[in-house]
Structure 1
Amino acid sequence: MVLASPKPIRSERILQSDVIPIVDLKGERCEVIKQIVKASEEYGFFKVINHGINDEIIDKMEEAGFSFFAKPMSQKKQASPAYGCNNIGFNGDIGEVEYLLLNANTSSIAQISKTISIDDPHSNFRYKVSSYTEAVKELACEILELMAEGLGVPDTKVFSSLIRDIDSDSVLRLNHYPPTLTVKDNNSTSNNKVGFGEHSDPQILTILRSNDVPGLQISPQHGLWIPVNPDPSAFCLNVGDVLEVMTNGRFVSVRHRAMTNSYKSRMSMAYFGAPPLNACIVAPPILVTPHRPSLFRPFSWADYKKATYSLRLGDTRIQLFRANIS
């Protein structure tokens, strides 16, 4: 969901990044679950360390991404519509970004790999992307099952099963933010551009990784921004709109943005875990009580996706599906 501010924000406060929760997945299970639930309720965002994903898988995915974005524009455009530049979505939103958007299933990755690797058949793009996508999907499912357990949901696979479904609509998106300044611009004050505007992710859960260049910021409340420092040992996770609905508002779908404020290229690799298009999005019965009635009416992911992509960044979305509670 992308939340619109109730009124224009005249000033912004930037907090220190050390307030962001960090969860060690090798910690005591009950403590890990408690930390994940708390972070999802308060921030809708947290980092995980000791996640079990091999460094080589991550490095090869990053290598494949930078290799693609280093190609001449004419070659990158051969990957269209998976490749895009500056335009975000379909409704006029503009950013300082170029991207590669891939359906996170084996056949789609194989198909786009033929186009991307046409000038370098030995690049193993397909293998690198498939290995990374499978690894982060497993991490997402592990986290979702811990979340369900922490919420007291009897079927702890109620969230993760939507991502594991063969018809899952999950995607992998690589965002590349070229440097906006050069050494000659050293005294410039124009190094605080928004690369990707304020929004929240419509899917269930996002697993995010970036290179060693800062830029990501989260906003747990309007006018308050927290920079997320890059950490080579961690993945960032943020709650999406669907998970907010399926937890009946217990978890919050976090607003975030990306800034381009460095002399180096920044690349983020985001796995968006999503349900099948025909999946009915509704909270498990245990999370709906007389004291906490359902905040949202049931809807399909296809309906919500259509509503999401028909609006612009900053438009209210999830409120369209709120239940009428008297």
Structure 2
Amino acid sequence: MACEILEMVADGLKIQPRNVLSKLMTDERSDSVFRLNHYPPCPDVVQSLKANVIGFGEHTDPQIISVLRSNNTSGLQISLRDGSWISVPPDHHSFFINVGDSLQVMTNGRFKSVKHRVVANSVKSRLSMIYFCGPPLSEKIAPLPSLMRGDQQSLYKEFTWFEYKTSAYTSRLADNRLMHFEKIAAS
């Protein structure tokens, strides 16, 4: 399914070959990861604070895309451009796809990684399953040449997935982890 999604992204962006993105996750050296998260209910804490109790702090996913499925329990929130948070309605029949930082770079900012978090539910336990589509550690991450038009400049310096991960481990979860790889616009 993740490969099909990435191939549809390539189709939409008119990128050839169609598997330019999906081949990164089918590579035997792919750094893809499957993770299960369990968030127990927090009735006492949520009721006493009358506020959101964070189950997993705000962040963007670093990989290419993330494919998420959860039980029918609320908790996932995304940040809007103005910084406000909205809840994503739970739907145990659907998959949610998050654009990751790597795809943001590869599309030179056409696709943006989405900042999200999980808040604790006061009544039900939340279970989420996420497949993070990661490239091989040695893969160079840079805007795809076929997406660069005319004299358009890259917004990012080229880096390897390993360099990105190394940099991310030295930052806080909520930090803009792409900041170290952004090109500074000439004044």
* TM-score normalised by the chain length of structure 2: 0.93
Give the Cα–Cα distance (whole angstroms) in 2 for the partners of residues 186 and 176 of structure 1. 17
| Counterparts of residues 204-243 of structure 1 (less than 5 Å) | 204-243=64-103
SS in 1 for 2:43: coil
Give the Cα–Cα distance (whole angstroms) in 2 for the partners of residues 161 and 230 of structure 1. 31
Q: For residue 148 of structure 1, what is the amino acid of its counterpart?
A: A
Query: What is the aligned partner in structure 2 of residue 253 from structure 1?
Result: 113
SS in 2 for 1:234: coil
Q: For residue 157 of structure 1, what is the amino acid of its counterpart?
A: N
Query: What is the aligned partner in structure 1 of residue 27 from structure 2?
Result: 165
Q: For residue 87 of structure 2, what is the amino acid of its counterpart?
A: P
Displacement of 1:168 in angstroms is 0.3
Question: Is the CA contact 1:191–1:261 (under 8 Å) kept in the aligned structure 2?
Answer: no
Displacement of 1:285 in angstroms is 1.1
Q: Does 1:175 align with 2:37?
A: yes
SS in 2 for 1:237: strand
* TM-score normalised by the chain length of structure 1: 0.54
Moved over 3 A (4+): 185-191
Q: What are structure 2's unaligned runs of at least 5 residues?
A: none
Displacement of 1:209 in angstroms is 0.6
Q: Does 1:140 align with 2:29?
A: no
Question: Is the CA contact 2:46–2:53 (under 8 Å) kept in the aligned structure 1?
Answer: no
SS in 1 for 2:18: coil
Displacement of 1:155 in angstroms is 1.2
Q: For residue 322 of structure 1, what is the amino acid of its counterpart?
A: E
Question: Is the CA contact 1:181–1:191 (under 8 Å) kept in the aligned structure 2?
Answer: no
Q: In structure 2, do the counterparts of structure 1 residues 186 and 315 end up closer, same or farther at CA, with 3 Å as the change threshold?
A: closer
Question: Is the CA contact 1:276–1:301 (under 8 Å) kept in the aligned structure 2?
Answer: yes
Q: For residue 201 of structure 1, what is the amino acid of its counterpart?
A: D
Give the Cα–Cα distance (whole angstroms) in 2 for the partners of residues 312 and 206 of structure 1. 20
Give the Cα–Cα distance (whole angstroms) in 2 for the partners of residues 227 and 291 of structure 1. 40
Give the Cα–Cα distance (whole angstroms) in 2 for the partners of residues 152 and 186 of structure 1. 47
Displacement of 1:190 in angstroms is 4.0
Question: Is the CA contact 2:105–2:142 (under 8 Å) kept in the aligned structure 1?
Answer: yes
Query: What is the aligned partner in structure 1 of residue 124 from structure 2?
Result: 264
SS in 2 for 1:268: strand
Listed one character per residue, the Cα deviations across residues 114-157 of structure 1 (whole Å, up to 9, x for unaligned) are: xxxxxxxxxxxxxxxxxxxxxxxxx1110000101111112111
Query: What is the aligned partner in structure 1 of residue 54 from structure 2?
Result: 194
Bigger radius of gyration among the two: 1
Query: What is the aligned partner in structure 1 of residue 16 from structure 2?
Result: 154
Q: For residue 143 of structure 1, what is the amino acid of its counterpart?
A: I
Q: What are structure 1's unaligned runs of at least 5 residues?
A: 1-138
Kindly tell me the number of residue pairs found equivalent between the two proteins. Answer: 186
* Structure holding more helix per residue: 1
Q: Does 1:277 align with 2:137?
A: yes
Identity over aligned pairs, percent = 51
Give the Cα–Cα distance (whole angstroms) in 2 for the partners of residues 186 and 288 of structure 1. 48
